[in-house]
């Protein structure tokens, strides 16, 4: 996992459907190429991003779905 500032099209970002209803706890995700998913805090869209491999992100989502 790494911090990442690579530019991604604003249209590429989407908010988590599980983000807080009061809009203060929002996570946004974007697919950046074939093998990278970027994650950022929607309250700081120009800030740092976390980059993870697509497979890691898929495994994480599967883990959450199994809970």
Residue 61 has pLDDT above 60, yes or no: yes
Ramachandran angles phi, psi of 45, nearest 5° = -65, -25
Average pLDDT of every residue of the chain: 79
The model scores a pTM over 0.75: no
Q: In 1-67, which ranges are continuous DSSP H helix?
A: 54-65
Q: Which of 12, 9, 7 is nearest to 29 (CA)?
A: 12
Quick one: average pLDDT of 12-25? 70
Q: Convert 21-46 to b/e letters by CB count within 10 Å (16 or more is b).
A: eeeeebbbbbebeeebbbbbeeeeee
Place of tokens 């929607």: 42
């Amino acid at each position: 996992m790494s911090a990442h500032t690579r530019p991604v099209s604003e249209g590429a970002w989407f908010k988590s459907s599980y983000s807080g209803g009061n809009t203060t706890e929002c996570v946004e995700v974007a697919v950046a190429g074939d093998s990278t998913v970027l994650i950022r805090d929607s309250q700081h869209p120009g800030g740092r991003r976390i980059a993870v491999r697509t497979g890691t992100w898929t495994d994480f989502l599967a883990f959450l779905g199994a809970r």
